[in-house]
Structure 1
Amino acid sequence: MAPLQPAQLQPIIGMLQQGQVAQAEQMLRQLTAMHPGHPDVLHLLAMAAKQKGDAENAERYFKESLKAEPSQPAVHANYANLLSGLNGREQDAVASYRKAVELEPNFATGWYNLALMLSEVGSLADALDAAKRHEKLTQGNATNAELFYLIHDRAGDKAAALNALEVGLKREPQNLRLWTLKANHHRGEADFDLAAEAYDRARAGGLRDADTYQNLAEAYYELKQLDKAIAVLNEAVSAIPGSGELHYIRAKFLWEAQTGEDHLAALKAAIPQQPNNIGLWGAYFDLLSHQGRYEDIMKGLSEAYRFNIRAPRMSLAEAVTLSSLGQMEEATAVFERLLAHDPRHASPKLAFAEHLMKAGDAERAEGLCAEVLVDDPGNQKAWTFRGTAWQLLGDERADWLFDFDRMVNPIDVQAPDGYASRDAFFIEVRKELEALHRMQSHPLDQSLRGGTQTNGFLFRLKNPVLKALQMQIRLAVESVVATFPDEPDHPFWGRRSRGIDFSGAWSVWLRSQGYHTNHFHSQGWLSSALYIALPEEVRSGTGTDGHIQFGVPTAEMGLNLPPRRIVKPEVGKLVLFPSYMWHGTIPFSSDEPRMTVAFDVVPTS
């Protein structure tokens, strides 16, 4: 039998590069029959399996290839690439990268990946040594500057990380990737003036991607230059008119800024130019949905269907809209088709469950939630809806999931050292937060009504008062979490760990008649409301105006379940509760604002 020729592998390599995995595997099986145990064939079988997400067989083929021929730097490197993406296999990846560069000392990409992997496992000195080897091989190009930046950034040495970028930019002042990294670095450090300058340099150099536009607009927003932010977003949708994401961001921004301009005008103008662009239609329907404009969604869907657009996203929009309009049988029919098309997709399944509860079929809704939780046991939305279905069915498991007495925890946040009193501290916090509320209306896609919300992660800002607030909040949260029971099989109690981290933080300013619609948080573990300032009517009132309530589903579901617990706000009081628990604010009347800080917490190991 003739030996295997490299030319025989080239078509297969091309197929894998083009994502034609099935065709590549068919040819590889034929080669396996003719050349059993050939290391190159086994290597490509491993790459095909990896591309399919079949890590088990990919690893098996990598090992067989290396057993047949141990001296293959590329195979060791590709095996390391696989291992680097598997939980708990980081050290194995390091070992494979080391073997690759040991076999081929001039393997620049191997040194690069080894340096990154070493920094990930915390071996900073070794990572820097590997990066220096890469620098020598590449004569210190921009990729190497980025490598040094990533290593120092992972090590928490922000000054060294920034210096690496500066060195790279001196060598290649027109490198847009390095300008973007520099901008991202400054943005992460809340140095928005420097971030704006770097993003603008990248944009001036020709970078016209969605992230650059969005981040530049955000930097201008944080610098209180709203006109510049709007100008950037206008340029963005003009430069990339097919980006549904950019149109969505621009429309939201204009809505909150209340410029007087139709926030949907640019999007409505873009759709006829690209009528088959599902992203544009999806952004349009999402924005209309946030305003409750369901009749307009149905008109839009009718127009979209004229272009034979039948994507699942469009069908889901139709099903949800029909349900919102009270056309229950029609909505059910569309949901059934979606479920038959993709029986394991969580999003339409949970939307169907919500619809079924509105339609009076809590039993089937509960079953759909249970199916989602089999594949994704931590799905917060599934737990919320399942618990609601249990309530409707009179199932005692609802009280196990929603234990309003034990799970809703009010606690006083103490003032840090240096303040005469808690009142003095929270007066100072209020002053700092007031300057951050720059918009005129609520975000379209959030729960608050009649007020404004700050932008981004609140505690990223270089503000000593807010940093002190974060520390005091952390102390309060940790003291509450320490009291949690040991119930490892519970979806809330069972997530407790040795540490916590903030996954989001923001401030809300509510005006008279302002409130939060009843909602839950799909991404957190513990959610919160910390009261910074309260109207006299709420502080001294005998009713429940301005109070936070728990256990009431969103009004759109029409379930009429009463609140299970109501907590009166007090300045400096923090209320903690499971993120999956329904909660909302009762409206109030006053000339004074109701100001809060809210955040989500997730457990860490």
Structure 2
Amino acid sequence: MPFQAGLGTGKLAVSKVSASEWRARSHAAEQAGDLNGALEILEEGVAAWPDDAALANSAGNAAMRSRNFDSAIQFFGTAAKLQPRLLEFSLNLAISLSRIARYRDALAVLAPFTKEGFSVARYCSVRALAERGAGNLAEAGAWFEQCLTLDPKHARALHGRARLAMQRGERDAVSRYQQALQVTAGDAELWLGQAQAMAIAGDTAEARKIAELLMQQAPQWLDGLQFLAQLRLAAGEADFTSHYTIAMQRRPQDHNIPAAQCAVLAGLDFNREAAEFARSAREKFPHLERFALLEAVYASAAGENERAQSVWNTISLKNNDERIHLARHQLRRGETDKAAILLDLVLQEDPTSISAWALISVVWRLAGDPREKWLHEQQGLVAFLPLQDAENVLPPAIAQLHRLHDTSAQPLGQSLRGGTQTAALLFDRTEPEFAALRDAIGATIQDYQKALPQSDATNPRICHPVLRYRDVPWHMAGSWSVRLSGGAGDRHASHIHPLGIVSSALYCESPPDAAADLNGDPQAGWLELGRPPPDLGIDLQPITAFPPRPGHLALFPSTLYHGTRPFTQGRRLTVAFDVRPEKEPS
């Protein structure tokens, strides 16, 4: 390394170099712009002084600055182990763990310092962020409040508490963002958060003004561009992504902007338009293979299979996501054997891939493969259960849900086609009606889990994607509500939820009896399980369907495509969530 050139060419007794000298050499390297070299110097220093906690902590800080979070965790862990009662080292370890979403591990590090940390603003802020990441929003709020009691102008706590207020549906979310902006007026994330809070509160005009200002000042900022697209979609604008084109004109070398525009368009089934934007970007950025991949994916989804194939022929597969995209394309072309080979490769490497399981289910059904019965038709995997305590918890929850939907909009990138979906996480909100509903659902899920068949070895190749988790604790994640209106074409497109193992639909209100449907559909408004999405072009009937019966909860493997049939009268109000395992089975 260039920064060791002054050490001479002969062998050097490393132990003669003091810890402070290692630190100084690293600082010089960093000042010269060599972050990696600075970290390598401290790595050598720690090897020479393995019992120096402060030096290990310095190495952890250098690793954080170079965004090498795994190394940071290792060095901070060493420092905390050498001096287990020193709060600073454990705080740094918790911060590094949180940076890679290991929030529960961070909380385990912080827990022994709870009493001492209660009077330290930095501890309270770090603890709050870890609690929020772990899904403990009430605890996160308490720690943010304690931090602000100790330091009323703590910028990170003000921002975190405002974001938490928005996530939990607290009525003072907008004012909390305003308080945070008084301390950090130039923080774009805060301005975006305030605009989002305003939109949730129904003040979409002011929210849009802020979103447009953000786009003018930071046209490359994808979060701001997406929020403006959401507002424009809710306002009924046909060309709700045209501002991406303006942003590209101002930042012509930023390839992330056209990629984001393609994703927004494709998320609402504008696949042909997405493919054209991908083609244009491919011509502009010929050195980037990502746009060839995007054109192939979106052209195939739009039904332009030959165009897509010509692009796929130029792509070398590098990961499972690309293999899954190609398998979808092969299914559209009727090349089920080729798709099966790719999906087998994915599942051998990642047996938890919900997307691959959903597609191989289609392959197996087309082939009459008995493994489909193992995957989806074992007794208990699909259930339609009465919600526990429905008569008490549903009526007050329904009133609150309608209040939320009155200021909600159709989301971007979701399965909803028309209608409205609540923002943030429904069961993280503060209303007691939703807490009672969550508890009733949780009890019903426990009944479902207990009734599942035992995981077995009938498929020696791989473990069942749901039953492998039968005997570990589960939790609800990603909760929301959807309201659809008959006659407006509102529906759910067939889709899956790849981040859970069990998916759901709780019926709160339903359209009139299907016999009253103006189109004469005897299953109008029903939930269908197993019908492939339309873009696959595969005519398979659902394996089952459920009528919209208020007070009943549908639970089924997340590997099953599901959607709803359109209806012509009334409204359909549901609550949904994903179920995830707390841990991997032993």
Q: TM-score range by the shorter chain?
A: 0.7 to 0.9
**Distance verdict in 2 for CA 1:169–1:359, change over 3 Å:** same
Inter-partner Cα distance in structure 2 for 1:406 and 1:145: 45
User: How much is the aligned-residue C-alpha RMSD, in angstroms?
Assistant: 3.8
Letter in 2 for 1:426: L
In the alignment, is residue 218 of structure 1 matched against residue 196 of structure 2?
yes
**Distance verdict in 2 for CA 1:495–1:464, change over 3 Å:** same
Q: 1:435 aligns with which of 399, 403, 424?
A: 403
Letter in 1 for 2:219: P
Q: SS of the counterpart of 1:566?
A: strand
Q: 2:267 aligns with which of 284, 290, 299?
A: 290
Name whichever of 4-13 and 281-290 sits farther off: 4-13
Unaligned segments of structure 1, at least 5 residues: 29-40, 47-61, 136-141, 417-421
Task: Kindly report which structure 2 residues correspond to 1:317-336, keeping only aligned pairs within 5 A, or say none.
Answer: 317-336=294-313
| Corresponding position of 2:473 | 499
| Corresponding position of 2:545 | 566
| Corresponding position of 2:7 | none
Q: Output the TM-score relative to the length of structure 1.
A: 0.78
Deviation at 1:197, TM superposition (A): 2.0
Deviation at 1:600, TM superposition (A): 0.9
| Corresponding position of 1:447 | 415
1:344-378 superposed Cα distances (whole Å, 9 cap, x missing partner): 32222211110000011112212222222233221
| Corresponding position of 1:584 | 563
| Corresponding position of 1:166 | 148
Task: Kindly report which structure 2 residues correspond to 1:543-558, keeping only aligned pairs within 5 A, or say none.
Answer: 543-558=522-537
| Corresponding position of 1:75 | 56
| Corresponding position of 1:255 | 233
Q: SS of the counterpart of 1:436?
A: helix
Q: SS of the counterpart of 1:596?
A: strand
Inter-partner Cα distance in structure 2 for 1:265 and 1:499: 46
Letter in 1 for 2:343: C
| Corresponding position of 2:212 | 234
Name whichever of 496-505 and 328-337 sits farther off: 328-337
Q: 1:474 aligns with which of 421, 442, 448?
A: 442
**Distance verdict in 2 for CA 1:261–1:585, change over 3 Å:** closer
Task: Kindly report which structure 2 residues correspond to 1:33-432, keeping only aligned pairs within 5 A, or say none.
Answer: 44=43, 65-66=48-49, 70-71=51-52, 73-75=54-56, 78=59, 96-100=79-83, 109-110=88-89, 112-113=91-92, 120-121=107-108, 124-129=111-116, 143=122, 146-147=125-126, 157=139, 160-170=142-152, 173=153, 175-193=154-172, 195-209=173-187, 211-258=189-236, 260=237, 262-338=239-315, 340=316, 343-403=317-377, 405-415=379-389, 422=391, 425-432=393-400
Q: SS of the counterpart of 2:404?
A: coil
Letter in 1 for 2:217: A
Letter in 1 for 2:210: V
1:270-291 superposed Cα distances (whole Å, 9 cap, x missing partner): 1111122122101221222234
Report sequence identity in percent. 23
1:509-554 superposed Cα distances (whole Å, 9 cap, x missing partner): 1111432111111111111111111122338789211111111110
Inter-partner Cα distance in structure 2 for 1:288 and 1:308: 20
Q: SS of the counterpart of 1:235?
A: helix
Inter-partner Cα distance in structure 2 for 1:305 and 1:526: 38
**Distance verdict in 2 for CA 1:169–1:92, change over 3 Å:** closer
**Distance verdict in 2 for CA 1:576–1:210, change over 3 Å:** farther
Give the conservation status (yes or no) of the 8 Å contact 2:51–2:82: no
Inter-partner Cα distance in structure 1 for 2:357 and 2:28: 45
Letter in 2 for 1:270: A
Unaligned segments of structure 2, at least 5 residues: 1-9, 98-104, 457-462
| Corresponding position of 1:526 | 502
Higher relative contact order (CA 8 A, sep 6+): 2
Inter-partner Cα distance in structure 2 for 1:17 and 1:410: 64
Give the conservation status (yes or no) of the 8 Å contact 1:188–1:460: yes
| Corresponding position of 1:59 | none
* Paired residues, number: 543
Q: SS of the counterpart of 1:406?
A: coil
**Distance verdict in 2 for CA 1:426–1:124, change over 3 Å:** closer
Inter-partner Cα distance in structure 1 for 2:184 and 2:89: 31
Inter-partner Cα distance in structure 1 for 2:131 and 2:563: 43
Give the conservation status (yes or no) of the 8 Å contact 2:426–2:481: yes
Give the conservation status (yes or no) of the 8 Å contact 1:404–1:564: no
1:98-151 superposed Cα distances (whole Å, 9 cap, x missing partner): 52478xx7xx8436436879972276453443686xx6xxxxxx6466357558
1:431-450 superposed Cα distances (whole Å, 9 cap, x missing partner): 22111113576324221223
**Distance verdict in 2 for CA 1:276–1:322, change over 3 Å:** same
**Distance verdict in 2 for CA 1:485–1:14, change over 3 Å:** farther
| Corresponding position of 1:484 | 452
**Distance verdict in 2 for CA 1:433–1:145, change over 3 Å:** closer
Name whichever of 213-222 and 10-19 sits farther off: 10-19
